[in-house]
Every structure is written in structure tokens, then in C-alpha cells.
A and B are shown apart, each in its own frame.
Chain A
Amino acid sequence: MGGELGSLVAAKLEAEPWVGALVGIDVDPPRRRLRKAEFHLLQPSQRERIVEVVTKFNPHVVINLSVWEPDARTGLAHARQFTADATTAIIGAAAECPALEGMVVRSGIEVYGRERNSPTRPIESAPLHPTSEYGHMLANIERQAREVGRRVGIAVGKLRLAPVLGKHVPSPLGRLLRQPVVPFSLFADSPFAVIEDGDAARAFVAAAARRLDEPINIVAPGAITTLQAILRGKRVPLPLIGPEWRVASRLSHMLGAPVPDHVVELMHRGRLADGAKALDVLGFAPVLSTPEVIDHLYAWESVVRIGSISEAVA
């Protein structure tokens, strides 16, 4: 509930008529004013405390958004550790709640992997062959949720999100695209799709309301290549062929925009998925298309001056 996506989901859930009480747990305080929700500031490692809070509340629905994307808010090692700890604690605690009817977990289209000859636009039934660290982390969350769902007999919905971008979402892809000079793969400028954070939050609310019990891809319509995104954002494209990617990644890391393996994979091999099932099952259609999400990303001002805000308000 403390991250941008968590705060958005909580704010949208508060507005839902079917939601009575709401409890959230995160390592950061909420980024929005929440009126109904009760918030607990807990670390992923505080498993006993998390279990206590969750079991005491005894929810009907649990939404697990506790996923740390590598190099978004923390490096790979910490991201892996935090995600594993949080998943074990939240999903384990949820299994102890007698009133629980359903659980919705965050996953990503990275679980399909981009090995050679993998489907261009995988549907939900495509086999999971993650080829990046982040993909493995997400596949592990799905596996744990599925096992708990089977054991305690609850509905488990898995929302496989395209890379989430938004004005305030910490994302290695978003950060890289907003650099003044952005590298792209000259010989394989493959297309990818993304999803805006507000759309992703709406999908979680819809999945929770319907007690979703299957995996669903959440992808904005359309696609864009890295070069097209760079040109849209009026950045300088830096064509790379192969070996110099390692150098470029290191340099980018030093400049404050680390490039994890799943982002390199996206730029080389693309990342698309078929999002048609979301409309059929959840009645959910993203408001923004992929190019529009990219435009919103670039519309974010780097420095917002207090003076200009005051003038605008006045």
C-alpha cells in the first residue's frame, strides 16, 4: 500500500461499494490520502507480525502487490530477498484466514520468457519459461499462490502485468527511457507493450471484485519499439550492436539508470502479450494505449518548481 501501485489500488478500493474494511501493509507509508484504510508499516522480514495483522483482520480478499522489480527501488539481491520474504509472509498468512474467498497476486509477462522461438504474443495458457531474474521471481510468486490456493480451496487470480510505467512509478525501463541519451539495439529493435499504473490498479480492483481464479495478461493495446519511444521522447538514440551493451549498461548504472537483465531482454527480444482475455473475464480495458503511456512518461517534468505550482493554483 506504500508503493505507487499499492496506494492507487487502495484509493480505488476505498471507492468501491463492496469494500467494507481495508488493511494494508508496506515498508513505505501510503502516497495518497486514504480515508478508510488502516495501514501497518512493516518490513518483509517481520513475518510473525505480518501474519498477526493479516489473521487478526481475517479478510475476504487478499491482494499481494509486494513485488520488488530489480533496480526499480533496490538492487537485484535485495529485490529478490524482499520479494521472497513478503510473498512467503503474505501468502502464508492469507492461508490461515478462515474467511478468505480469494487472492489476487501481482505477476508479469516476464514469466513467459523470451527464449528463441517463444510465442510472439503469448496468451495466458502459454508455458512459463522465464529467462530473466525478474521473470523467475514472478514465476515463484505464481507457484506459491497456486499451491496455497489448491491447499485451502480459494480462488487465486494472477495478473501478469506488462512493464508498469507512470509518472511516479519507480521503473528501470522508465528511468532509462528518460535519460538524455538512450541506447537501442540496432539489429533487433523489437516491439514491446507496457501498462499505465492507473490501468493496472483498475485491473486489480476488478480482479478482486470478481474473485478471479486464473491468470490474466494486463497489457495496454498497441506496441512500440525502443527507437520509436526514444524519438517520441525527443531523446538521442544511441545505436548498439552487441558487445558494447555491457559498457553502456555500466555507464547507465553510473549515471543513475541501471539496466537489469529483463530490460535488456525487452530491448533485444521485445515483450508483447495478448491482453484480450482481460476484457472477456474482467470487463477491463486499459484507458491508455502503449504509445500514450510512453507520452505520459515523457510528459513528467524533471523538476517541479514550487513557484510555478503556486502560480497555477492562484
Chain B
Amino acid sequence: MAQLIEFPIKAATRAGNALVQPLRSAWPVHSVDDYGRDPHLISALAPLAKLRWDVTVGGEQHLPVRTGALLVCNTRRFSLSTVYAALALSEATGRPVRFVGRPDIAPVGPFMRRIGGLLARPADVLGALQHHELVLISAEGTNHPRNAGKVPHELVGPAVLAGVPVFPVATMSSTVGRAARVEVGPQVRPRRKRRGPLAEVELADQVQHHLQRMLDGFGGMQTGVAPIDWLAEG
């Protein structure tokens, strides 16, 4: 009798197994980490990302090997600099780098979560930093690729609270070409010890200053033809 009752369930399970077996063999059944980042999906998407960006990474030796750190990059509008910088730094350091700024609406939000996105909320940044994660935030977007925008001090605050180092990350990419560059600078140390919220405000200003200096050091393309230089700079 029990076998009779179980028959439809067993039949459905067997049919289902046959249907989803290819999917199961292609996709690991456990690949998300504590924050929902999916390394398997990232490696599957890597060829697509490489089609768009050919990223040169420098200065990654400044980053801590085990502890958490807050990285702050500049961003040109619509350049997705946090995404390619996080992916490139993850590959270079061998540690997951989580970028901040995913939307919280399906389907983009969940997809960006799977590739390492966090919400642009101090609570999310603080939680990740306290778990010794590398977290990448971006300065405000600018139109010029070599201008560093204002660094949001409310997202730098969690680094002060968690007591983790802050590193500037200069990024440069082109709207037309594949070449992109990600350069990690040395740790930014606060000039003065503050007990209150001025610590994060001053630290954010310092990071912006460091970023601008690094971007100035990058230099621009000079072909002699202004429109080409402009296009190359994005």
C-alpha cells in the first residue's frame, strides 16, 4: 500500500531528475558564500568581463592578506568601475572583493549580489568589514575620467568603527576601448586622532585627495588630435 501511495511521488522525482540532471552537473549545488556571492558564477562570467575590460592591476601588495580593509575608488559615470575593479582585484589578490552599490530590486539587485555586490548602506559595509572582508566603495561619479569625486564619509565611517585600514584605488577605463587600469595606493592614515564623527569626514577628504594625486600621476592620452584624446579618455 505504501508503495502504491509513493508511486506518483517516485515517478515525479525520477522524471524531474532526468530533466534537471544536466543542470545539476553543470552547476555546483553549493556555491554562494555568507553574503550571497557566487564564485562559480563569477568564473563563468569572467570571459564576458574580459571581452569588455582588459584590466591591468597594480599596487595590490599594499592590501592586507587576511584582515579587512576599505578600498575607495574613483568612478567615471556609467563606467561600472566598482564592478571591474572588484573582479580584477579579487583575481589579483585571491580574496573576494565586495563592491558597494547594488540596487535592491530584482532582477539586477540579486544578480549583482551574486557577483559580490553589497548595498550602499553603512550597516552592510560595517558587517562585511567586521568579518575581515575587502570592501570597495566608490567616490561620487564624475564626467572626467581623471577627476576624483567626493568620497561619501558615511560609508567611510564603518572603517573607522571597525578599525580597518583605508586604501585609495585609482581606476581608469575607456568607453570605446578594452584597456582599463586599477592601481591600489598605500594606506591612507588619518592626520589627527579624532574621537567623534570628524574622524570619518576628514579621512574621506584625505582619501579623495590621495585619489586625485594618483589620477594626476596616470596622465592622459596625447595624440595631438583633441577629439581622439577625448574619446580615449572616455
Does A270 touch B at the CB level, under 8 Å?
A: yes
Q: A121-B34, A231-B23, A276-B131 are in contact. List 12 more A-B contacts (CB 8 A).
A: A116-B104, A117-B119, A120-B113, A180-B9, A190-B113, A191-B32, A222-B34, A224-B32, A228-B30, A228-B32, A236-B13, A274-B127
Does A221 touch B at the CB level, under 8 Å?
A: yes
Q: List 26 A-B contacts (CB under 8 A).
A: A117-B119, A117-B121, A119-B124, A120-B35, A120-B119, A122-B127, A180-B13, A180-B16, A185-B106, A188-B106, A188-B109, A188-B110, A190-B113, A221-B34, A223-B33, A223-B35, A225-B32, A225-B36, A231-B23, A234-B16, A234-B17, A234-B20, A235-B13, A270-B110, A276-B130, A291-B30
Which residues of B have CB within 8 Å of A268? 106
Which residues of chain A in 209-234 are interfacial with respect to chain B, using CB atoms and an 8 Å cutoff?
221-225, 228, 231-232, 234
Complex Cα–Cα for A200 and B29 (A): 25
Complex Cα–Cα for A191 and B113 (A): 9
Residues B12 and A236 in contact, CB atoms below 8 Å apart: yes
Does A123 touch B at the CB level, under 8 Å?
A: yes
Does A101 touch B at the CB level, under 8 Å?
A: no
Which residues of B have CB within 8 Å of A126? 123
Looking at chain B's contact residues, the main secondary structure is: helix
Residues B127 and A121 in contact, CB atoms below 8 Å apart: yes
Does B194 touch A at the CB level, under 8 Å?
A: no
Counting contact residues on chain A (CB < 8 A from B), the size range is 35 or more
Which residues of B have CB within 8 Å of A224? 30, 32
Which residues of A have CB within 8 Å of B20? 231, 234, 236-237
Does A18 touch B at the CB level, under 8 Å?
A: no
Does B31 touch A at the CB level, under 8 Å?
A: yes
A122 with B123, Cβ < 8 A, contacts A116-B104, A116-B105, A305-B2 known: yes
B residues adjacent to A (C-beta < 8 A): 2, 6, 9, 12-13, 15-17, 19-20, 23-24, 27, 29-36, 104-107, 109-110, 113, 118-119, 121, 123-124, 126-127, 130-131
B106 — nearest CB in chain A belongs to which residue? A188
A229 — nearest CB in chain B belongs to which residue? B29
Residues A189 and B110 in contact, CB atoms below 8 Å apart: yes
Q: Which one of A181, A228, A276, A303 contacts B12 once the chains associate, using CB atoms below 8 Å?
A: A181
CB distance from B22 to the nearest CB of A (A): 11
Q: Which one of B23, B36, B121 contacts A119 once the chains associate, using CB atoms below 8 Å?
A: B121
Which residues of A have CB within 8 Å of B119? 117, 119-120
Which residues of chain A in 136-165 are interfacial with respect to chain B, using CB atoms and an 8 Å cutoff?
none
